[in-house]
Amino acid sequence: MGLFLFAWLTGEGIIVWRWVKQGAPPTPGAILLPSAVYLGLAVLAEYNPARATAIALAWGFDAAILLQVVGKPPAQVTGWPPAMINDPSVLLPKGASGPAGTAPKGAANPSTSTSVAAGGPFPTPSGQPVPQPPLTGAG
């Protein structure tokens, strides 16, 4: 199985090299289809009388991949890097934030909140602090 595994890794390496040469990561489909072919050949190679044939077919598949790659300029569109999303209906964080220490609009600033200033942890809907129960000594 050593020669077969080497053929498999060589074929996948040629495919990955071609994608990297174009400046993009390989798509799952570009890796999945050849892997399925090699997996089928691996199942065939488990049958001892067909092992040499499966290894020869794997190296032949490598030669076919190499002949598709060598000597041709890359013609496929990779779509990499992805385009920016300019749709205003998509909720994405903005690239810049306000100055340090400022809260966004509508957010309560805890240093000026009436509930914190009055000693209460939560404001009521009217903005008044929640009355705190008196502390009693426990015994």
Residue pLDDT, tens place only, 75-91:
666 777 777 777 777 77
- Nearest Cα neighbor of 119 from 93, 78, 24, 128 is 128
Which region among 1-5, 15-19, 68-72 has the lowest average model confidence (pLDDT)? 68-72
99 in any annotated domain: no
124 in any annotated domain: no
Q: Which residue has the tokens 């050849």?
A: 34
Please state, rounded to an integer, the average pLDDT across all residues of the chain.
Answer: 75
DSSP string computed for the chain = -HHHHHHHHHHHHHHHHHHHHTTSPPPHHHHHHHHHHHHHHHHHHTSGGGHHHHHHHHHHHHHHHHHHHTTS---S----SPPP---TTS----S----TTPPPTT---TTT-HHHHTT-SSB-TTSPBPPPPPP----
Q: What predicted TM-score, i.e. pTM, was given to this entire model?
A: 0.53
57 in any annotated domain: yes
Q: Is the pLDDT of residue 12 over 70?
A: yes
How far apart, in whole angstroms, are the C-alpha atoms of residue 27 and residue 20?
11
Look up the domain containing 24 and give its range.
Answer: 2-69
How far apart, in whole angstroms, are the C-alpha atoms of residue 31 and residue 49?
29
| Structural domains in the chain (count) | 1
Q: Is the pLDDT of residue 104 over 90?
A: no
User: How many CB atoms neighbour CB 18 within 10 A?
Assistant: 19
80 in any annotated domain: no
132 in any annotated domain: no
Omega prior to 110 cis, within 30 of 0 = no
36 in any annotated domain: yes
> In sequence order, what are the beta bridge partners of 123?
129
